[in-house]
Amino acid sequence: MSSFSESALEKKLSELSNSQQSVQTLSLWIIHHRKHASFIVRVWHRELKKGNKQIWWVSRGT
């Protein structure tokens, strides 16, 4: 698993597709880095405000 950083999370969210593999990979990465949950939520919220609707697929997987 790659290390946690804001830029890593933003990159993963921007590259997300609705394929099962893409969603599962990001879901597992988020679960692995759950100790950063409050930060993940802030970035997630920011991405939602930008209009990134692909992240809803991950919300179902985490």
**Do residues 62 and 28 make contact, with C-beta atoms less than 8 angstroms apart?**
no
Is 23 inside any structural domain? Answer: yes
Q: What range defines the domain where residue 12 resides?
A: 6-59
Dump pLDDT digits (tens) for 32-52: 999 999 999 999 888 888 887
Is 46 inside any structural domain? Answer: yes
Domain count along the chain = 1
**Residue 60 — pLDDT band, cuts 50, 70, 90?**
low
Is 1 inside any structural domain? Answer: no
Which runs of consecutive H residues, i.e. helices, occur in the chain? Answer: 6-14, 20-32, 37-50, 55-59
Residue scoring higher pLDDT (53 or 9) = 9
CATH number, position 17: 1.25.40.90
